[in-house]
């Protein structure tokens, strides 16, 4: 994000304010921005609820602690990550814990799931849900995804759902994901992607950034950041249409649609 010193913190404050409010309300629409977020004009996956393409099955939704699914995602990273029993999973921007709880069921009692979120209200909500539902293989930590409170090479899979676009320095997010992954570890992300360059005047609007729109990167930009971080086996794909970027207000009007990102840290996965 361009602009004077302090612009990144302005984005962080805007994001915290938006999602702190959503945590208190108990619902958020799509990426917390209502019907114009998440590239909501794009076709939804099977199992989607609301206007965002969640991709959760009915059985997955039924298994969740009540109040954990705030409708903020644009995909199903636990499914995308092909999780296996016994793995350690990290969710970037875990919110109220929806993907952490789904991941915890997939990795089982021999596995572990860590959620990191920079919004205190979200972390408190997720921790309370974990306690009340007795999900003992899940924990939630307060922190920024650009500076993860997680040890080096301690995680098998990194997930994220419609959150990395909210970070002002997405290259730093991918470098942190690479750091905490073990050799051979996997990255599986559902996020919004831009179908073309987004004008700087839109990029520099913290409110639009916090609504999952102006922070979206193109396929090439995400690929470059992943490659610079050290990842290989990189796959970045658009799931929506090819709307043209322009001066409009909603994500669909500036060319933002749901997408999927997969990559691997080179090496053999050994514990």
For the segment 109-167, what is each residue's pLDDT rounded down to a tens digit?
999 999 999 999 999 999 999 999 999 999 999 999 999 999 999 999 999 999 999 99
Q: Does domain 7-264 have CATH number 3.40.50.150?
A: yes
Q: Of all residues in the chain, what percent carry a pLDDT higher than 70?
A: 80
pLDDT at residue 135, rounded to an integer? 95
**Residue 245 near residue 194, CB atoms below 8 Å:** yes
What is the tens place of the pLDDT at every residue in 8-22?
777 788 788 888 888
pLDDT in tens, 62-85: 999 999 988 889 999 999 999 999
Task: Check residue 9 and give its pLDDT.
Answer: 79
pLDDT digits (tens, 9 = 90+) for 201-232: 787 777 777 777 778 999 999 999 999 999 99
- Tell me: pLDDT of 195 over 50: yes
Q: What is the pLDDT of residue 240?
A: 66
Mean pLDDT of the chain: 83
Q: What is the pTM of this model?
A: 0.85
* Burial of 123 from C-beta contacts in 10 A (0-12 / 13-18 / 19+): buried
Q: Are strands 232-238 and 256-264 parallel, antiparallel or unpaired?
A: antiparallel
Give 44 or 266, the one with higher predicted confidence.
266
* pLDDT value of residue 23: 82
Average pLDDT for residues 244-256, to the nearest whole number?
Answer: 52
Say how many CA atoms lie within 13 Å of 62 toward its Cβ: 3
Residues with Cβ within 8 Å of 203's Cβ and at least 6 positions away in sequence, in order, are 1, 2, 209, 214, 215
Q: 172 or 27, which is more confident? A: 172
Tell which residue, 221, 215, 195, 218, has the closest CA to residue 203: 215
For residue 110, how many other CB atoms are within 10 A of its CB?
A: 9
Answer yes or no: is pLDDT of 44 > 60. no
How is residue 40 written in tokens?
């909501």
Inform me whether the pLDDT recorded for 192 exceeds 50: yes
Which of 41-45, 89-93, 178-182, 242-246 shows the lowest mean pLDDT across its residues?
A: 41-45
Give the residue with greater pLDDT, 150 vs 168.
150
What is the pLDDT at residue 26? 64
Domain ranges of the chain: 7-264
How many C-beta atoms lie closer than 10 Å to residue 136's C-beta? 11
pLDDT number for residue 132:
96
């Amino acid at each position: 994000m361009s602009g004077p010193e302090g612009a990144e913190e302005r984005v962080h404050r805007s994001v915290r304010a938006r999602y702190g409010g959503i945590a208190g309300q108990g619902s958020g629409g799509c990426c917390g921005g209502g019907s114009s977020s998440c590239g909501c004009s794009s076709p939804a996956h099977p199992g989607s609820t609301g206007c965002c393409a969640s991709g959760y099955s009915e059985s997955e939704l039924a298994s969740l602690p009540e109040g954990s699914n705030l409708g903020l995602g644009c995909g199903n990273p636990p499914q995308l990550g092909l999780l296996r029993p016994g793995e350690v999973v990290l969710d970037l921007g875990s919110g109220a814990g929806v993907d952490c709880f789904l991941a915890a069921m997939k990795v089982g009692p021999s596995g572990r799931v860590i959620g990191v979120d920079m919004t205190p209200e979200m972390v408190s909500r997720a921790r309370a849900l974990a306690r009340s539902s007795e999900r003992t293989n899940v924990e939630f930590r307060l922190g920024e995804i650009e500076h993860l409170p997680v040890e080096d090479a301690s995680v098998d899979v990194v997930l994220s759902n419609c959150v990395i676009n909210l970070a002002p320095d997405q290259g730093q997010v991918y470098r942190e994901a690479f750091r905490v992954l073990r050799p051979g570890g996997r990255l599986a992300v559902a996020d919004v992607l831009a179908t073309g360059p987004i004008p700087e005047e839109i990029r520099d609007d913290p409110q639009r950034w916090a609504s999952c729109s102006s922070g979206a990167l193109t396929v090439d930009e995400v690929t470059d950041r992943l490659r610079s971080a050290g990842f290989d086996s990189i796959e970045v794909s658009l799931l929506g249409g090819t709307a043209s970027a322009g001066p409009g207000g909603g994500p669909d009007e500036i060319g933002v649609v749901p997408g999927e990102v997969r990559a691997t840290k080179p090496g053999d996965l050994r514990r």
